[in-house]
Structure 1
């Protein structure tokens, strides 16, 4: 019996690998390795620095997934008081952080975290706004709390960006409930959300007025989006999200659009079995790009600074699985070339471009590093 089971597992694994190879040929952009870039460690000794943003004076705000918000300035780490309690389960914890686009006036920051608020056991993703008052958070207000809670530990999302029209966008993963959440606009999870900066629902959100709809939803049919940035040329919101085994995706987010999960996917179950044989369906968006095999993407940033001439205008994505920084070179909005940067640096969790265009990367077990061009280049 044991021999039979092992043989069956080997057959499934071999079949799955063959499937991945066949599907890879459909979207094959081989990745090369660049030695042009290196890094300098700027903020040392961090465990899982999930999110980061930059203060007006150039110092850092950094979230540790375990629940701490850190202000790093002049070589010193100060732990901010008054951060929300987090449901630290699985991939949940204190997640993204972004300064308000009106920070100079309102001193507000936005945070996403795993929250236990609500009647059911477990938790779900919440978006909070608070005032940073010295080394403490005050005037805390939860702008959105996804429901219902679950004790599952996976797929919380969650990234935050702002558009030029006074809206905050944030992502929530489907919380391991792929068959009920992502395709149902009356349920949270597997969505990109859009709110006004005060947490109110914009009147032009796509599902406003629909019966029982979660009116904060901007797009749906997502799995677990952990990278998001605003394209500086077009103003479009770009998101990447984890696929299952294969099928990580980059998507350009459109109002009211359905991105298909799990009804269409380029991935398969971790066991090697099919999720679906459908890769396209009418009324569902195709990814701008998809990875086979999965790289487990986290963090995303467009390069805008003149410090990196070859990278300017292109996209950076972190790989948790393969532990490198990926440069995706774009032509007419499509990925045409891929490069590994900072190979074997560790599990990359976040990428952000400072106001001066300098790229910073957060690495689990290491800290925050600055991307530099090697002197010998």
Structure 2
């Protein structure tokens, strides 16, 4: 495990294109240019007017799907225009950190138009993280044949820590990240609970026969890994196909993990984080023989959100890097890997002063961001 210095900072802001940049904390016009260690980067305001956007997915025709946490799914046109909300989205528990969350296209989307999305499903106690599949009809702008394929088996009260990233594995199975819901953190190590887990299911909701806990009495067979706090970033390593995730720590101790089958990631017994308010140590320490250590931990916490391995040609200097958005520190962290270790971190785009909720590489190799603060879709391009 590696901890990088919290003093790592990007270089200073370069001149904005056509003097369009205003100081951090104000809205900027369409394009700005910032300096990074690998050259200038242009930040383009591609779409505006979203309400707490959470996730981006790329449609084959160049348009985007974007979720809004209050419960709306919209199409963003190639010109940046926003559609009306798509009909047919189930009711969501849009309180606190809950609502409509991740969205991905199924591997068979080109044939059947199926998408998958996660959301905070309302229950009598409040809500639980759930996943549904549906057919997206772009002519009628509606979801059809909506079917829930997974829901947490517990619905503790409270409105925090829903997790909720979705990643399709190369074999077509689906990883779902599930938070500890805040007050239920002691259930994160329990193998009869979905609290604080990553689960792996098939697109019809069934359990793959090679999951790590198949056949174990008293253990939920869909569990892939356990001991997580609140995973809000997940992506497959482009070379190994391995699932990597990052999760929020409490006061410190955000983690980047190789999230492997059957392993315990420690929360809340083993963590670098400390209690809010009191600052007291949580659990028994930061390491234990039966707990998988993080690849990287951030203290103080950056509040990571969204994650992508960069494999495109638009930014050749970033190939193989991990890009991580951050809410609290309002940045994009570029992590340079050496095998499975992080050897360098650059903190980019701090000048924008915006909470970066999602980070994606588009099919064209551009990097796309969701600015939660101002409700915008941003695109990154090299600048001359």
With the length of structure 2 as denominator, give the TM-score of the two structures: 0.88
Distance change in 2, residues 1:213/1:339 (3 Å): same
Whether 2:73 is the aligned partner of 1:69: answer yes
* Structure 2 gaps, min length 5: 12-34
Structure 1 partner of 2:191: 185
Contact kept in structure 1, 2:213 and 2:262, CA below 8 Å: yes
Task: Pick which of 186-195 and 208-217 moved more.
Answer: 208-217
SS in 2 for 1:104: helix
What's 1:242 paired with? 248
Do 1:86 and 1:94's aligned partners in 2 also have CA atoms closer than 8 Å? yes
- Contact in 2 for aligned 1:95/1:111 (Cα 8 Å): yes
Provide the residue aligned with 1:33 in structure 2: 10
Q: Deviations over 1:30-87 (max 9, x none)?
A: 5230412231011112221101100001100000001100011143322210011100
Distance in 2, Cα, partners of 1:232 & 1:179: 32
Q: Which of 56, 64, 85 does residue 60 from structure 1 map onto? A: 64
Counterpart in the other structure of 1:150: 156
Indicate the residue corresponding to 2:211 in structure 1. 205
2:271 paired residue among 257, 261, 265: 265
State the distance in 1 between where 2:332 and 2:225 align: 27
Which residue among 115, 125, 134 is the counterpart of 1:121? 125
Q: Deviations over 1:280-328 (max 9, x none)?
A: 1121100000001100000000111111011111010011001111111
- The whole-number CA distance in structure 1 between the counterparts of 2:111 and 2:321 is 32
1:180 aligned counterpart, secondary structure: helix
**After alignment, is 326-335 or 245-254 more displaced?**
326-335
Q: Distance in 2 between matches of 1:329 and 1:285?
A: 21
Q: Say which of 319, 322, 330 aligns to 1:315.
A: 322
Post-superposition CA distance 1:338-364 (Å, at most 9, x none)? 112212320000011111221100001
Q: CA RMSD in A?
A: 1.6
- 8 Å Cα contact 1:96-1:112 kept in structure 2: yes
CA contact (8 A) 1:314 1:327 kept: yes
**SS of aligned partner of 2:318:** coil
Aligned to 1:349: 357
1:358 and 2:366 are equivalent in the alignment = yes
1:292 is the counterpart of 2:299: yes
Match of 1:219 in 2: 225
- Counterpart in the other structure of 2:94: 88
Q: Kindly state the Cα deviation for residue 28 of structure 1 after the two structures are TM-superposed.
A: 3.5
CA distance in 1 between counterparts of 2:95 and 2:178 reads 15
Equivalents in 2 of 1:38, 1:273: separation in Å?
42
CA distance in 2, matches of 1:340, 1:28: 11
Q: How many residues align?
A: 350
* Residue in 1 that maps onto 2:27: none
Hey, what does 1:368 align to over in structure 2? 377
Stretches of structure 1 that go unaligned for 5 or more consecutive residues are 1-23
Residues 239-248 or 161-170, more deviating: 161-170
1-side partners of 2:286 and 2:184: how far apart?
A: 16
Equivalent pair of 2:156/2:184 in contact (CA under 8 Å): no
Task: Identify the residue that residue 170 of structure 2 maps to in structure 1.
Answer: 164
Contact persistence 2:116–2:134 (CA under 8 A): yes
Deviation at 1:198, TM superposition (A): 1.7
Q: Find the aligned partners of 1:217 and 1:322 in 2 and give their Cα distance.
A: 32
Cα distance in 2 between the residues matched to 1:313 and 1:29 = 22
Q: Residue 161 of structure 1 contacts residue 168 of structure 1 at CA under 8 Å; is this kept in 2?
A: yes
Q: Contact 1:37–1:341 at 8 Å: present in 2 too?
A: no
Tell whether the 8 Å contact from 1:38 to 1:342 is kept in structure 2 after alignment.
Answer: no
Other structure's SS at 1:371 match: strand
Q: CA deviation at 1:178?
A: 4.6
For residue 20 of structure 2, what is the aligned residue in structure 1? none
